[in-house]
Structure 1
């Protein structure tokens, strides 16, 4: 008998206001973990900066022009990623997050593959992202996907900026 991993699907999240598709919970976990890693831990979502609370409370307004990908394992949302709308031939990847209970199953890779396929289909020349330098696993993942460190476009300390040209 072999153990089979349940199938993980990645698709653009449905933009339905009434449905709780798990995206808000994933974004909350992402932002709470990030604040803690920056040494600015907060007790709950209400203590996050306004812009992050806005993403969590209404992701469809916060990311109205962007593509939001959600990885699902059965009915559960287990990962997310945002691809910004192209501007001057360039898109940005943001908010890549996999629920820690589901890491090691290729979810982040699946999200990145889908995001890069989307950018290629939409004529994007360059994809960029930023990642905190202590997230070495994420940096290694991005490097496996062809991203290289580049000059920073963001003045925040300990932020690594990366980019890759479309394939």
Structure 2
């Protein structure tokens, strides 16, 4: 069994991502799970909305200006998170995902901590995110890191917006 101490976090500028990073499989799992939780399950990437299929098919294009954090257990990708390039003083955290077989080991916390450090390093003064309101575990994690509910910038039903100063 893999120990939490054996997990490392690699920072990848979006334009340098490669198939070997394992990001595609993590993003696919994230999006398939999200669609199922929204009550719109799909069998594979072909059933996902175009914008999500692009992320999976070519993350270098989708996240070209961003930094992708990949949690690795040895050479296996077990978690990911995207930190967008700062715009108007803020960066966004998105696509936080940990392989279910590796949950409960602090991987999401490690990714989120690294994301906040990356945002500060990039000059952001605020980090924001959106999260589906049924993802109570993720919301609790964000609150532990000091995120608070913010006025929504996204009108999708059941989507909660949160932010915190860097």
Provide TM-score, normalisation by structure 1: 0.94
C-alpha contact 1:147 1:164 (8 A) present in aligned 2: yes
Runs of 4+ aligned residues of structure 1 deviating over 2 Å after TM superposition are 3-6
Structure 1 pair 4–36 and aligned structure 2 pair: CA distance change class (3 A): closer
Q: Quick check: which one's helix share is greater? A: 2
| Structure 1 residue 120 displacement after superposition | 1.2
C-alpha contact 1:6 1:73 (8 A) present in aligned 2: no
1:36: which partner in 2? 36
| Structure 1 residue 119 displacement after superposition | 1.0
Matches within 5 A, 1:67-82: 67-82=67-82
When the two structures are aligned, how many residues end up with a matched partner?
A: 163
Summarize deviations over 1:21-54 as a string: whole Å, max 9, x none. Answer: 2100000000000000000000111111111000
SS at match of 1:156: coil
The unaligned stretches of length 5 or more in structure 1 are none
| Structure 1 residue 4 displacement after superposition | 5.0
| Structure 1 residue 20 displacement after superposition | 2.5
| Structure 1 residue 115 displacement after superposition | 0.5
C-alpha contact 2:85 2:122 (8 A) present in aligned 1: no
Q: Which has the larger radius of gyration?
A: 1
1:53: which partner in 2? 53
